[in-house]
Structure 1
Amino acid sequence: MLEKAYEAQCEKVTVHCTKASEARKRGLALFALALGSFCIGTSEFASMGVLQLFAGSLGLSIPKATHAITAYAFGVVIGAPLVTLLAARLNRRTLLLILIGLFVVGNLLSAAAMNLGMLVAARFISGLPQGAYFGAGAVVASYFVGEGNSGKAFAMVMSGLTVATIVGSPLATLLGQSLGWRETYVIVAILALIALAALWAWIPHNEALNGGPLRQELGALRKPRVWTTMIVAALGVASIFAVYTFIGPFVTDVAMLHARVIPLALALFGIGMTLGNLIGGRLADSHASLGVILGFGCALVVLALLALFGAHEWVLMIALFGVGMTMMTAIPTIQVRLTQFAPEAPTLMGAMNLASLNVANAIGAAAGGFAIGAGYGLLSAVWAGFILTAAGLIVFVVTLGGAEQPVPA
C-alpha cells in the first residue's frame, strides 16, 4: 500500500515538473518573440523621438525629415507581403532569425547615413522585416497559447512593441539627446543581436512551425473582406502616427516645455498603448467588432480634445496617454478579423496587418506634415489624424460592422 502511494506521489511530482518545464519553455519563447518586437518598436518609434535631432544634423526641415519615417513605413508595406510570400515554405523559426538579421543591418546603415537619401534608404531596409516578423511571430505565439486565443497571441507579440514605446523609445530619445541620434540606431542594432540569440535559443525546432504552399497564401489576397479590413486599419490607425510623429514639437513648441519632457511624453503615450493592447487582446477573442468601434470612437473624442486644448501641458499629457490607449484597443481585433477571413494564411494575415499599420504610419506622418507645412500650426496634425480615423470608423461600420464572424471558443 505504501509502495503504491509512493509511486503515485512520484508520478504526480513528475507530471508537475514536466508541466513546469513546459511552461518555462513557453514563457521563454514568448519572451524572445516580444524582445524582437521590442527592438523593432524601439527603432520605429525612436525615429520619431529623434526627428528634430537628425533633421538639425542633416540640415532638414521637420516636414522634409519625416520622409525618413515614411520610408520605414513603405519598407514595412512592401516587405510584409513580399518577404512573407517569398518565405512561404520556410520554417517560422528560420524566418524569424533571418528577419532580425536584416533588421540589424538596416539599423547599422541608419547610423552611418550621411544625408537624407542614405537615411531614407537605410530606414526602408530597416522596415522590410517588420511585417513578416509580426506575422510569423503571431503564428509561433498561437502555437504556444493554443487555438481560440489568436487575439491574445497577437497581443503578446505586440506587447514588445508597446513596451518599446514606454521604455525603448523614450530611453533611445534620451540617449539621442545625450550621445547623438546615430548612437541611438547602433544601440538598437546591439539589442536586436541579443534578440536574435534569444530566438535562436528559445524558439524550438518544430515541424509544426513549417510554412505552407505559396498558392495557399496567395489565395487569401483574393478575398475582398481582407482588403477592406486593411483599409480600415490604414485609415483608422493613422491618427497614432499623426500625433506620435510630432510629439517632440508638441512638447517644446506648443506646450512650451523643456525638451527633457519629451521622453516622459513618449512614455505616457506608450503606457496608454500597452494598456490598450491588453484590453484589445481580450476584446478581440470575445467580440468581433467592439474593439474597433470602442477604440476608434473613443480616440475621436481624445483627438478633438488634444487638437483644441493641447497647448495646456496637463491636457497634452493626458491626451497622449488617451490616444495611445484607445487606438491600440482596436488593433488586436483587426488582426483577429483578418485571420477569420483567411484562416488558411495566418502568417500572411499577420504581415498584412502590420503592412496596413505602416500604411497608417505613412499616411498619418504625411498628412500631419502636410497640414503643418501648409501653415495651419502644429496641432493641425491632430485634426488630420482625426479625419483619417473618422474615415476608418465609417468604412468599418458600413462594410464590416455587421459581418460578424464566429469567434472560436
Structure 2
Amino acid sequence: MTEQPTSSTTATGTAAATVLADLPRTRTWQEDLYRDVHQHPELSHQEHRTAAAGASRLRDAGYVVTEGVGGTGVVGVLEHGAGPTVLLRADMDALPVREATGLPYASAETATDPAGAEVPVMHACGHDVHVTCLLGAADLLAAHRDRWSGRLVVVLQPAEELGDGARRTVEDSLASLIGPVDVALAQHVLPMPAGTVGTRAGAVLSAADSMRVTVHGRGSHGSMPQASVDPVVLAAMIVVRLQTVVSREVAPTSPAVLTVGSIRSGSKSNVIDDVAVLELNVRTYDEATRTTVLDAIRRIVTAECQASGSPREPEFELFDRFPPTVNDAAATERVHSAFAAHFGDAAGELPLQSASEDFSDLPVALGAPYTYWGIGGVDPQAYAAAQAAGRVASDIPGNHSPYFAPVLQPTLDTGTSALVVAALEWLAPSAARPAGG
C-alpha cells in the first residue's frame, strides 16, 4: 500500500489547482476593474469610490462587510467551518503624480491635497493592482468554500502612502471587529518581470522616518554678513556633517540611508534670512540602527548650531513615520514552499527593499505573524532587454514614477494566484497547522 502525501504543500496545491481553475471567470472583470480603478485614482483618506466598489464586490461574494474602517477602509469577513483565520490586505490610495504613461486608460484626475492645493493623481505605486488582485482572490475563495475551512478576513486599507492608514484601521476597533488572526498576508507589485513572485524571511522593507529640522540664525543685509548668523551656511555645514552618520556611525553590515531632500531659507539674493528648514528622510531595518541615526542627527544639528552661534535651539519634528517590515521566518517558509510548488522557477527570493510600508502595523497590533512578498509587473521581454544592456535602473520605471505602468497580464493573474495559494496554505483543511509553524 502506498502512503498518500499529506504535507501542507500538497494539500495547498490540490486546493489551489481547483480554485484557480476558475480564474478565467474572474479575469475579464478583474481587467475591467483594474482599468477603472487606474483611471480614477484617489488620494489618501479620499478612497471613497474605490472602497465602494470593493465593498460591493465583497458583499456579492457573500462576505460580511464593514465600511468606513479607519476612515475609508473596508473589511470583509467570510466564515466557513472550523479552522485558522487568515487576513489578506491591499492598500487603495494613489499619489499626487501626473501620469505620463500614455495608456488609453491613463488617469487625468485631479484632487485637493491636505494643504488645499489642486494636484494631479495617479496610481503610480500599483495599489490598483493590489485592490484588483485581492478582490479576485476573495471572489475565487468564496466561490470554492468546499476547498477550505476557517475564516477569511479581507482588508482594503486606506492611506498607506501617508503611513497612517494601517494605524487608523487598528485604532478603529479592528481587533474587536475581526477577532484573533492566525496569519496576515500582503503583497506589492514591483519593477520585476511580470509572472514572478519573490519572498524573503526577516527584514524585507525598511522603517522610514521623515524629520523636519528648523535652525535659527540672525538676519542681515547680504552686504553685511558680519552682522548675521547665516542659517544657509549653518544648514550647509549640517548637510555635509550628516554624510558621516551612515559611513562612520553605522556598522557596514547594517543597511541605512540618510537623505536631505529639502532645504528652504530666504527669498532674495541679497537678504540673509534668520531661519532655515531642512527636511530629512531616514531608512533603517532595525530599531537599534534607527535610534543611532536619529540620535546622531539631533546631536550633529545641535552641535553645528552651537558652533555657529545660533541664537535659539534647533527644532525637530518627526513625521511620515513607517514601521519596518520584518517577515516571520516560519510563515514565510510556508508561503515560499507553496509558491515554489505552484509557480516553479518563477518563485524566487525578493531582494532587500529600501522602500517602506505600513502593513506591519496591522499584524503587530493583532499579535499575528505575517509575511509580505513581491510580484513582478514589467513586461518580461522589456525587462530582459534592459537587464542585458545593464540599464534596468534607467529603462524600467519604478514605483512612484509618472511612467509606472504594470502590464495587465500576467501581473493580475500572478497576484491573484499568489494570494489564493498563500491563503490556502493555512485554510486548506489538511494543510492547517499552528500559525507560523
TM-score tier (shorter) = under 0.3
Structure whose residues are more often helix by fraction: 1
Structure whose residues are more often strand by fraction: 2
TM-score (norm 2): 0.25
TM-score (norm 1): 0.27
Higher CA-based Rg: 2
